[in-house]
Amino acid sequence: MSKTLTLYEQLSEYWSEAIDKKKGSLETYEKQFRVKYNIDETFIANSLFINELLDYIGTSLSENKLNFIHNKETVCLLFPYYGIRIACTKQFIENIPFVKNLLSGEWGDNNVFTYEYFNEDVNEIVSGATNIVIKEATLDSILFEKPYECKVKDYENKGYYHIRNITCNNLLELIILNNKNRYESVNFSQDDRNEFEY
């Protein structure tokens, strides 16, 4: 009887490994995406982030961020020529006519695709994100249906800034604004921890 259990355990382990290898793990897909689509930097886009519609994730991603990026409810815009990926909520996509148009048609080419992978957190094969590889359009040509209005700190020198209203009409403007804010908060801001204390 114990030999049967041992054999069963061995087969069970083999089947689990076979599923994992057949579909690939989350980390495997992430490595393949980075190589195949020239992805260096990753952003997460969500229009609920007031004034900070993009969250810069960078090059090394936590497991939580990977689960969001590769979730079936996420739409990833892959820009090989820019070396970036923007993982968008479906609600954010509603404001980008170019992407909505791509998703509403037939997905006949390899530029729009989904995939399945083995997710160790839920221990099952799950559907991944919808990915759109964008090579023909530039970031500045991907317009928002309704431009985003943002209030940002515009630094004059270290610790001194004006609040400015900025309008972002396209993805390029939004990414440049995010990069500018990130750079200036690291290099020009002072310790603002007490700024919002009451």
pLDDT of residue 167: 94
* Average of per-residue pLDDT across 142-159: 87
Could you report the per-residue pLDDT of 96-144, keeping only the tens digit for each? 999 998 888 766 567 899 888 888 888 888 899 999 999 989 999 999 9
Q: Rounded distance, CA 84 to CA 177, Å?
A: 15
pLDDT of residue 118: 86
Q: Rounded distance, CA 187 to CA 198, Å?
A: 26
pLDDT of residue 145: 96
- In the numeric block, which tokens belong to residue 133? 């590889």
Position 191 pLDDT exceeds 90: no
Q: Round the average pLDDT of the chain to a whole number and report it.
A: 82
Q: Strands, E, within the chain: which ranges? A: 41-45, 54-58, 74-79, 84-89, 112-113, 116-119, 124-127, 130-133, 143-157, 160-170
* Average of per-residue pLDDT across 176-191: 82
Q: Give strand pairing partners of 100.
A: none
- Please give the single-letter amino acid code of residue 72: K
CA-based torsion, 26, 178, 55, 44: positive or negative:
negative
Position 84 pLDDT exceeds 70: yes
0.85 surpassed by pTM: no
Position 29 pLDDT exceeds 50: yes
Percent of the chain with pLDDT over 70: 82
Residues 117 and 125 sit within 8 Å (Cβ to Cβ): yes
pLDDT of residue 17: 53
* Average of per-residue pLDDT across 9-14: 51
pLDDT of residue 14: 47
* Average of per-residue pLDDT across 152-166: 82
Residue 72 pLDDT grade (very low, low, confident, very high; cuts 50, 70, 90): very high
Residue ranges of the domains in the chain?
2-138
Please tell me which of 29-33, 153-157, 169-173 the model is most confident about, judged by mean pLDDT.
Answer: 169-173
